[in-house]
Structure 1
Amino acid sequence: MGGICGWIGFAGAPELLDTMAAPLSRFDRSPVQARRGQRSGVAVAAQAGSADVFQRDGLLVALWGQPRLDDPALAAQAAAQGVAATVAGLWPQGAQRTCAQVHGCFTLAIIDERSGEALLATDRMGVQPLTWQLAGETLVFGSSADCLLRHPLTPGVLDHQGLYNYVYFHMVPSPGTVYQGQQRLLPGHFLHYRQGRVEEQAYWRMQFEEDGKRSFGELKEEFLSVLRHSVKEAAGERKVGAFLSGGTDSSTIAGMLTQVGGVAADTYSIGFQAQGYDEMDYARLASRHFGTRHHEYYVTPEDVANAIPQVAAVFDQPFGNASAVPAFYCARMAQADGVTRMFGGDGGDELFGGNERYAKQHVFELYERVPRLVRKALLEPAVFNFPGGERVRLLRKARSYIEQASVGMPARLETYNLLGRYGAQQVFTDDFLAAADIGNPIATLERNYGRSEARSLINRMLALDLQVTLADNDLPKVMKACELAGVEVAFPFLNDKVVAFSAGLTPQQKLNGTQLRWFFKEALRGFLPDAIITKQKHGFGLPFGVWLQEHAQLQQLAADSLSDLKARKVVRGEFIEQLVGTHLKEHAGYHGTMVWVLMMLEQWFRAHRNV
């Protein structure tokens, strides 16, 4: 997939840039462009058309990805001189105005040795992450933390808080990382370095227009237009394919790709021989409906066991989303067909209101509208003090509803958190917890939740999910799976114009009562098959817990991994024994998730032996 890395404020050896850049091209062998200054350097690893570098008179500008300048005059200049050279001309206007002019998926680095300044920025949706660390007066940065580990000033020391947050969220949420001192830029943010000091600011925020008055017909026409444009723009001149799970998002992208290309699109699906996990029938339905060239692969338990060490190694942070495995096999199938760029449907849920928890939290919010006096003086005493209420099913459900509704947002989103159910003190060793704050995950969610200026609950949840669910989880899952397979990936829903369009929809057009993504589905009636519009949400979920009960190779891999993890004194040995010996047998699907999360932690440790 490539990436960017470099530093300012350090007179490194000439070969240091190559050393830092090596992790960026280890899978697809992307060519590396390196530029050095007196006390700085930048390297960009990318396939043709995904990198641009400009250097002149102490000024160095490097771009990775698919940056775009929408201003007509700037776009014309970029076409003639290159995007990096054009951005160099914007730099005197300041960091904020420079970043605001750049659109698309990109990572930007500007190093100005004349003034001792540097600018780092990532795109609005955080598709392309960027990690940085200030070591004394030296700023070191890279698309992967693995780059920073190769710089002599930032060798990497594990952070207990990052490890704790991983087990809590099954990934390490930004801006934190698993290394002390390292930070990741938030989506739509830039970092301004000035002579040894740094300042991070947002150059873009999601601005929701919650009082829209436009007609459905007008909105539908614009929506289909911007989506077609986004798919066409992302396809370019490459041979592209599309992930197809059979859900509304992937089916929409597959259909649009066939429509704008004028020929049958190549679509790729993964199936599982496990009851309740296989959604191949819906993928086939979408393929027949749009006339795509469909390709299928059924992942086996052996495939999972073989992929686990590779998947753990490709991530620079511990990562516990098991769907990365089927995404890898799907992308690998496409790469074998000569596809160079895959389209993912990620972002549709977070832009248009598609996650089931949005409807659930709407129901809980209704309780908050009941006058406090009525709740505290009448409802709650009646429900909680009713004699024998624990034996009455309706009262038990009422108690559960009130208990959850009484938890404030966004903490209420984590009432079913696995680590919360087990208890941190039962999972982690005392020595490990002494260097971690168990309240940090909720505090992090609260800070992110509080950044949004949206008035409605649905838009506040969408703003939170754009970072925590999308940028920190779903996008890295697909990006890294494709990197491991050796193909690029694009996300048409995350085109700036599609994002802007979604922000203009009213809250009711996203969540109509408890109807998820109401506008999205209604606008696509007649385009998508009705069966896909009404289907339950699923995706490429992995039946790991089920397979773990019966497959010897997976059992051995999990047992070996958890046994070695005990020796690291992070997780209590007795918890691991209870998890595998008791919990897993009680509910394989539920507790299998924690087995996966801990197994992948150990596998990540093994792949990063120098940490």
Structure 2
Amino acid sequence: MDGIFGWLGDHGAHHDLIRHMGRAACLSPEGLLHEHSSQLLGVAACSRFGKADIHVENGLAAALAGRPRFLDDELAFIAREQGPANAVAHGWVRHGEQLPLLMQGNFAFAVLEPLKKRACLALDRVGAERLCYAHRGGHLVFGSSVQNVAAHPGIGRTIDPQAIYDYLYFHTIPAPRSLYQGVHKLLPGQIVTLKNGHLDARFYWHADYTPVDADFAAHRTHFRDLLDQAVRDTDAPATAAFLSGGTDSSTVVGTLTAARGAPIDTFSIGFDADGFDEMEYARCAAERYGSRRHEYYLKPADIVTAIPVIAREYDEPFGNDSAVPTYFCARTARDAGFERMLAGDGGDEIFGGNARYAKQRLFENYFRLPAAFRRGVIEPIAHVPLLSGRFPLAKLKSYVRQANMGLPLRLESYNFLHRTPLDEILAQDFIHAVDPSAADAALVDVYARTASDHYINRMMHVDLKFTLADNDLRKVGTMTEAAGIEVRYPLLDDRLVAFANHLPVDYKVRGQTLRWFFKEALRDVLPEKIISKAKHGFGLPFGVWCTQHAPLGELVGDSLSDFKARGWMRPAYLDHMSGMLRGPHASYYGVMVWVTMMLERWLQANGH
């Protein structure tokens, strides 16, 4: 895994320790491109893409991962002439904790001052990069990978049961928690400082949702200028693009084609399974822009190939099954000679494209009714004995139940760990070792600290953190890296994110129309077929295929059998999930089967 790592604090065999921490997460010891150690610190960087470096000078060490853009002219000059890690070091001396505000783009940095016993860690605004840390026994240990940090002998790899629960709930382990006790992950826009032995974590940046008053034409002109600039800034030689046929990837491809004034290479994944394949939309976009299209149709055998790759490449258990098509799409591009790809991730979360945004309006409208009418008429009818389980009262009862949950917890009303009593899913000892309410509390915290009172902005803020930073960016970033591809996200350019946040809410979701402004502003760029298509994910027909492809089915069976021995989940529930794969709900139960299987495969691959 590419990135930076190191520590502040006295320790023994420094050179050997740097190598040990590097082997915990890098491809090989030879991947350590830059390193430095002394009596009181160690820093190192490894990157196949030339986007990580260190700088040590005058008792100060700086480590940087990413490709930041410096807003300060002097720092920008130093970055160009002497390297961005050098610019971080100089920026820290001049600006101190204000430095992250003078940086945009994807970055994670650490600054260590051993003589002053001071340190600073910072992560970019959207979490495109990664940064973890632990503070124990007088040591501050940091790393792009959880494994880097845990490899330090002062930290260790003790699994946190709450992290396992969070993984089963979210299908990833959201920051700030990590798999290991005492190891924490920075949140997007966060800065951590060490002074006088005290560690402090705060946000240097908050998403500002204050609407900017301007007419549609002015907003459209500004947006198109920012979009063009963001795509140009992320373009480079040997760059291709993902093309799923969705709004975001099509926008990136169309804008990049216009910027170059020539066709580009696009890479798409298809599935030979009903309800999963969207290749017709990818071909529609490729035809519109004259792209040189490359297509790969995923097969069940490819999943068997990808599972050990996923278990090896992620620094923690990761349960998003669309990591599989992402990996094969990126690998196809690498085999074709490309080194970089542009991805469309982020558009839904900043412009209002997730279907739940419109759906939640239906529930929020319930509270516009007079309270007396809701409580005195609707809710008693919805709970009429003997009838509330029959249509249409069953639908009304479900609607009232979900409405009264409130946001953001309503978003998780169909979560597996809410749909079935926990004591039927998890072992009693495991339940007693965790706090099931902590997962919901994490959602509430992000929802509540949104700088907006509107529920749609608040949901988008939650998605920026949990859906994008904790999940989708980790999915794409890790799988492209595993394939030997560097990925860039033009729609997550800081200038575009700020612009989108300032749009009026009804420019994002207008009635039941998602991404109203985005689509209207790009009607001359996007094919009508793609503008009007229903929202579709990058899903995997795993639940269906694992009963049709014997090697995959055997891998699933073996993994669930091994997982029973962990004592975390009830064997009867694991058997129930496996049995449901052979029925009409294979796709639904396939999600939790995949999540559980990948947890077991990851644990085995990483020595647990």
Bigger shift: residues 344-353 or 7-16: 7-16
Equivalent in the alignment of 2:330: 331
Q: Alignment identity in percent?
A: 43
d(CA) in 1 for partners of 2:96 and 2:192?
A: 9
Contact 2:19 2:29 in 1 (8 A): no
* Partner SS, residue 192 of structure 1: strand
Deviation at 1:556, TM superposition (A): 0.2
Equivalent in the alignment of 2:161: 160
Code of the aligned partner of 2:124: D
Deviation at 1:27, TM superposition (A): 7.8
Deviation at 1:15, TM superposition (A): 2.0
Equivalent in the alignment of 2:547: 549
d(CA) in 1 for partners of 2:424 and 2:317?
A: 21
Code of the aligned partner of 1:369: R
d(CA) in 1 for partners of 2:108 and 2:260?
A: 28
Equivalent in the alignment of 1:531: 529
Deviations 1:62-109 (A, max 9, x none): 211101112334323433443333332332456431121111101111
Equivalent in the alignment of 1:173: 174
Contact 1:27 1:486 in 2 (8 A): no
**Aligned-pair RMSD on alpha carbons?**
1.7
Bigger shift: residues 345-354 or 52-61: 52-61
d(CA) in 2 for partners of 1:79 and 1:368?
A: 55
Deviation at 1:482, TM superposition (A): 0.7
d(CA) in 1 for partners of 2:49 and 2:270?
A: 33
- Provide closer, same or farther for how the CA distance between residues 49 and 554 of structure 1 changes in structure 2, counting only shifts above 3 A: closer
Contact 2:547 2:581 in 1 (8 A): no
State how 1:107-506 maps to structure 2 within 5 Å.
107-210=108-211, 212-236=212-236, 238-385=237-384, 388-391=387-390, 393-506=391-504
Code of the aligned partner of 2:499: F
d(CA) in 2 for partners of 1:541 and 1:48?
A: 29
Code of the aligned partner of 1:403: R
* Partner SS, residue 133 of structure 1: strand
Deviation at 1:47, TM superposition (A): 3.6
Q: Give the counterpart of 1:559 among 557, 560, 567.
A: 557
* Partner SS, residue 441 of structure 2: helix
Bigger shift: residues 181-190 or 7-16: 7-16
Contact 1:340 1:488 in 2 (8 A): yes
Deviation at 1:30, TM superposition (A): 4.6
Deviation at 1:321, TM superposition (A): 0.4
Deviations 1:381-405 (A, max 9, x none): 23323873533x2322222111110
Deviations 1:485-505 (A, max 9, x none): 111111111111111110110
Deviations 1:27-53 (A, max 9, x none): 897552112232111111124541342
Contact 1:27 1:484 in 2 (8 A): no
Deviation at 1:608, TM superposition (A): 0.7
* Partner SS, residue 180 of structure 1: coil
Code of the aligned partner of 2:425: V
Deviations 1:155-183 (A, max 9, x none): 21001000011011111111111111111
* Partner SS, residue 74 of structure 1: helix
Q: Within the alignment, does 1:593 sit opposite 2:591 as a pair?
A: yes
* Partner SS, residue 201 of structure 1: strand
Aligned length: 607
* Partner SS, residue 56 of structure 2: strand
Equivalent in the alignment of 2:601: 603
* Partner SS, residue 295 of structure 1: strand
- Provide closer, same or farther for how the CA distance between residues 160 and 31 of structure 1 changes in structure 2, counting only shifts above 3 A: closer
d(CA) in 1 for partners of 2:50 and 2:217?
A: 38
Contact 2:580 2:586 in 1 (8 A): no
- Provide closer, same or farther for how the CA distance between residues 579 and 355 of structure 1 changes in structure 2, counting only shifts above 3 A: same
Give the gaps of 5 or more residues in structure 2.
none
Q: Which ranges of 4 or more aligned residues in structure 1 deviate by more than 6 Å?
A: none
Contact 2:75 2:91 in 1 (8 A): no
d(CA) in 1 for partners of 2:350 and 2:521?
A: 15
Q: How does the TM-score come out when normalised to structure 1?
A: 0.96
Deviation at 1:582, TM superposition (A): 4.3
Q: How does the TM-score come out when normalised to structure 2?
A: 0.97
- Provide closer, same or farther for how the CA distance between residues 582 and 352 of structure 1 changes in structure 2, counting only shifts above 3 A: closer
